[in-house]
């Protein structure tokens, strides 16, 4: 079977591992550089080609995977002057970013009128899973469209869940991240309160680890708390704040009250406002401790 030409935009912490797996599993791959040339050069050395613009990439590709920060970046690479849509040809766009579902559904409708297809396929797990090809992927799109791109997704995914029509993948991703960022805020506040009472993180961990409240997210979070492993969970606080802001917009549009979501968002907003947005999520525990007079 002849494999489709695949394009990839967004070679960051997650994207570089994903793109490497697509290439190594035999798909013709074309990539586009942004800020960091190192992953581009590494992929070219393995056989990928490079496009100068998103439009040029679309002219040579049938399926394009996006792994950028969020909706503004997606709109820029799709609808910008030299964007994907400017190529004027049928192409399937697979948006693996964490985006605003309302933006996703509107963009999908706009692109459909130009014979282009948008599928949302956001991710769960870590950059290490991206490199290992074991990410979880939540896919929103029509049955036939999802069937067509599934072999590409399988290059970097260990689990693929078809959530429904386009937009539902991004909605499910926001809910997934709500749980994750909620845990991060809970752990951070609980650790701070424990320290106020003289309980060390080691004592806290000895009670939680192996019990009903233990989970893989807890374990990566506490690799920073206990071991100061910066690579334990490489997801920036500013991205957590962005995702919780998308969740707030979704709740507002739905007419739903989400007081817990607002509290989680505020924990991240305070850290970003204090200049800690580039810290990784487990480091929220340090910020909340310091804000309460604990070092």
Give the residue numbers annotated as catalytic, written as ranges.
173
| Distance of alpha carbon 276 from alpha carbon 93, whole angstroms | 33
Residues 6+ apart with CB under 8 A from 177: 98, 240, 243, 244, 247
DSSP string, 116-178: -EEEE--EES-HHHHHHT-EEEEEES-HHHHHHHHHHHTTTEEEEEEEESTTHHHHHHHHHHH
| Distance of alpha carbon 128 from alpha carbon 67, whole angstroms | 15
Chain-centroid distance, C-alpha 226: 25
The number of residues making up the chain comes to 295
Eight-class DSSP state of 4: P
Eight-class DSSP state of 3: P
Chain-centroid distance, C-alpha 132: 16
CA nearest neighbour of 18 among 111, 104, 97, 107: 97
Quote the crossing angle between the two packed helices 237-254 and 284-291, to the nearest 10°: 90
| Distance of alpha carbon 185 from alpha carbon 244, whole angstroms | 12
Eight-class DSSP state of 217: H
């Amino acid at each position: 079977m002849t494999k489709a030409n695949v394009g990839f935009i967004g070679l960051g912490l997650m994207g570089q591992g994903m793109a490497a797996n697509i290439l190594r599993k035999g798909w013709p791959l074309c990539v586009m550089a942004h800020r960091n040339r190192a992953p581009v050069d590494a992929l070219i050395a393995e056989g990928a080609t490079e496009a100068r613009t998103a439009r040029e990439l679309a002219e040579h590709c049938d399926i394009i995977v996006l792994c950028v920060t969020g909706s503004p970046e997606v709109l820029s690479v799709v609808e910008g002057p030299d964007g994907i849509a400017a190529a004027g040809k049928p192409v399937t766009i697979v948006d693996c970013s964490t985006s605003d579902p309302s933006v996703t559904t509107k963009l999908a409708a706009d692109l459909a009128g130009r014979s282009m297809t948008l599928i949302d396929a956001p991710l769960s797990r870590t950059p290490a899973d991206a490199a290992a090809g074991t990410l979880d992927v939540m896919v929103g799109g029509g049955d036939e469209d999802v069937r067509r791109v599934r072999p590409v997704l399988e290059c970097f995914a260990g689990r693929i869940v078809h959530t429904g029509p386009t937009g539902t993948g991004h909605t499910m991703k926001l809910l997934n991240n709500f749980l994750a960022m909620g845990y991060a805020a809970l752990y951070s506040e609980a650790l701070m309160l424990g320290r106020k009472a003289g309980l060390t993180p080691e004592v806290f961990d000895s009670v939680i680890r192996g019990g009903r409240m233990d989970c893989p997210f807890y374990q990566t979070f506490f690799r920073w708390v206990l071991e100061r492993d910066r690579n334990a969970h490489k997801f920036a606080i500013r991205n957590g704040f962005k995702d919780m802001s998308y969740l707030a917009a979704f709740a507002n549009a739905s007419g739903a009250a989400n007081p817990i979501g607002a509290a989680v968002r505020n924990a991240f907003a305070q850290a970003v406002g204090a200049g800690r947005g580039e810290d990784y999520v487990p480091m929220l525990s340090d910020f909340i401790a310091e804000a309460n007079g604990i070092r």
